[in-house]
Amino acid sequence: MKIAVVVGTRPELIKMAILIKRLKELNEDHIFIHSGQHYDYFMDGTVIDNFSLPQPDYNLKVGSGSHAITTSKVMKGVEEIIEKEKIDTIIVHGDTNTTLGASLAAVKMNIKIAHVEAGLRSFDRGMPEEINRLLVDHIANYLFTPTDIASENLKKEGITNGVYRVGQTLVDALDYVSKNFESIDFLNSLSLESKNFYFVTVHRQENTDDPLRLQSILKALRYIADQSNNPIVFSLHPRTKRKILDYHLFHLIQSKNIMILDPPTNFINSVLLQKNAKAVLTDSGGLQEESCILGTPCITLRENTERPETIECGANRLAGYSTDKLIHIVNTIDSDNKIWSHPYGNCGVSQKVLEIINNTHK
């Protein structure tokens, strides 16, 4: 059996890093494909360095583009590699255009698809990610879910064969970081005190492509920074930076209490910042999980989430993009003092995924 792992973005690479390492340890002939959907070193190249991963066997260099262009480029590139390398199974992750493109190429060529982080649902089909995860789940042969809720979502859609509740591979990544990178030098270099600052990321299309929505979020951040004694550390995604400049909104984040990390910081520093933050404010699905696992309250800058487990356990709150609502929720964080147990399982998820594939492949 010959397996190919296909990733294309920073979040995918983070969550698949340990699986890629284990796969290459099993057999160097297994293939690591990067679509190049994220192509900035500060977005994904640092992840390869942080986890000491091998360079991809193939980089499709699809770059940025519309959903259709990106997906079609990935389909074409992965199809050619499947044929050349005689691949039997591809492993994809999550909900990106890379995941959809690779899966469509595989199903058309009648090879098996393993979908890691299957079963997540926001129930908002206006989100392109929701369409991607729905389509991939319905053509995958192996569906590796992180939680019982994800498994139940699949069951409600009639998907019961090949479903394995394994936990979240992110737990493996965070365990690797905690064991190999415990220094707080980065915090000290920014003159930050633990639990005395907010960590912020914004990047999703629905927030960045709507100038009024983005303005509303930035106004809230400015108010919080100016009115509290807690500085904001804003890890600035390239897409968000471009939109802020396009909409002439940069003045809203020019404050002595807003520290802008441009380019965005690497995964190790992001974990350190989340672990030590008073709260995380984000529209990222991955950071909702990361902060939940790390024990830091999360305020999600969206009106829905495909990670309802984080809300049910008390780790996360939905704030949407309203300036007033966001400020109100931030102001109530201190009074909560909630302690929760995260629902994402123990370490060893990546190894479990590979064992299931090897033991059941026919």
Token readout for 37 is: 């959907």
Q: Which of 354, 353, 362 is nearest to 167 (CA)?
A: 353
Type of residue found at 317: R
| Alpha helices, H only, the chain | 10-26, 46-50, 67-85, 97-108, 128-137, 148-156, 170-180, 185-189, 205-208, 211-227, 238-246, 267-276, 285-294, 308-312, 323-336, 349-360
What one-character DSSP code corresponds to residue 337? -
Whole-angstrom distance, CA of residue 173 vs CA of residue 157: 30
Residues tagged active-site: 203
Helix (H, G, I), strand (E, B) or coil at 207: helix
Contact partners, residue 358, CB within 8 Å, separation at least 6: 1
| Alpha helices, H only, 111-237 | 128-137, 148-156, 170-180, 185-189, 205-208, 211-227
